Amino acid sequence: MNQILLKTTGLSLSFGGVTACDGIDFELAEGERLAIVGQNGAGKTTFVNICTGYLKPSAGQVFFDGEDITGLSPRKITRRGVARSFQIPQLFAEHTVRECLLIAASARRDNLGFFQSIDRSVDVVSVDETLKLVQLAERSHLQARLLPEGQRKLLDVAMALVLNPRLLIMDEATSGVSSEEKHGLMETLMQALSERNVTSIFVEHDFEIVERYATRIAAWIAGKIAADGPPKQVLEDPEVIRNVIGG
């Protein structure tokens, strides 16, 4: 039985009258590839935002690797081994693709050379590997703001990946990527993740992707987890079909 990496107990958050998160009890074990599905507004991103420190819950706790991380800042949570990518890619618009990754990689080192070129003070090998992985190697000298939408997404994921996290949370990583490339990309990503022993959560709307790559699916409906289990089981659940897939 693998170790429990992420755990929430009674996690709740309400905005005004809306309950975005309703007493979520949840556990994620190392090595799992969890897909979170649900309609817009069901609470998926809120859940992710709380787990990554962007929001504070009104009740409940979050544990990472046994440690209570409830209410910690995003920076502290990231340093503990949780990395995330965003629905709207968060890049350094004026830096080049490669520079974005170099900056991300620099987070892994505590002692940064002040007058030493960043190329020499970070793990350039892993940066270049990651560039190849997301197929951005040819565009590495392009300014991030010049990338088309799909590649901005990839860069966003790459920046999280290069942190060598234990848990990678991806928020709609392949939306905006063309359908021919989606599968190839997810295949490579997932391969890399399992090679590096990275547990992953991905918020997804594409059910083909979900079916193919997830080891487990959690379906969110109105702030609660309505179904949670192996893909086949969840995808055949009538509640899920009615409220998530059908809609």
Which residues, 122 to 141, sit near other proteins by CB under 8 A? 122, 141
Residue 95 contacts other proteins per CB under 8 A: yes
CB of 190 to other proteins, least distance (A): 22
Residue 87 contacts other proteins per CB under 8 A: no
Residue 96 contacts other proteins per CB under 8 A: yes
Give the interface segment with other proteins, choosing from 5-13, 20-28, 36-44, 96-104 (CB under 8 A).
96-104
41 in helix, strand or coil?
A: coil
**Rounded to whole angstroms, how far apart are CA atoms 107 and 102?**
9
CB of 75 to other proteins, least distance (A): 5
Q: Which two tokens stand for residue 178?
A: 């063309």
Which of 13, 104, 173, 227 touches other proteins by CB under 8 A?
104
What is the CB-side half-sphere exposure of residue 114 using CA atoms within 13 A?
Answer: 0
CB of 91 to other proteins, least distance (A): 7
**DSSP secondary structure code for residue 113 in this structure:** -
Residue 153 contacts other proteins per CB under 8 A: no
Q: Which is nearer to other proteins, 52 or 199 (CB)?
A: 52
Q: Which is nearer to other proteins, 68 or 119 (CB)?
A: 119
Which of 25, 27, 93, 230 touches other proteins by CB under 8 A?
93
The pairing of strands 67-68 and 59-64 is antiparallel
Q: Which is nearer to other proteins, 39 or 96 (CB)?
A: 96
Element (H, E) at 11: strand 4-15
Q: Which is nearer to other proteins, 112 or 232 (CB)?
A: 112
**DSSP secondary structure code for residue 174 in this structure:** T
Amino acid at 138: E
Q: What would the x/- binding string for other proteins be over residues 200 to 219, using CB under 8 A? A: --------------------
Place of tokens 């190839």: 184
CB of 14 to other proteins, least distance (A): 21
What are the residues whose beta carbons fall under 8 Å from the beta carbon of 148, sequence distance 6 or more? none
The pairing of strands 224-229 and 216-221 is antiparallel
**Rounded to whole angstroms, how far apart are CA atoms 191 and 199?**
12
CB of 146 to other proteins, least distance (A): 7
**DSSP secondary structure code for residue 238 in this structure:** H
The pairing of strands 59-64 and 4-15 is antiparallel
CB of 133 to other proteins, least distance (A): 18
| Secondary structure (DSSP) of 188-221 | HHHHHHHHTT-EEEEE-S-HHHHHHH-SEEEEEE
Residue 75 contacts other proteins per CB under 8 A: yes
**Residues in the site for other proteins, rule: CB under 8 A?**
52, 73-75, 78-79, 83-84, 90-96, 99, 102-104, 106-107, 109, 112-118, 121-122, 141-143, 146, 159, 163
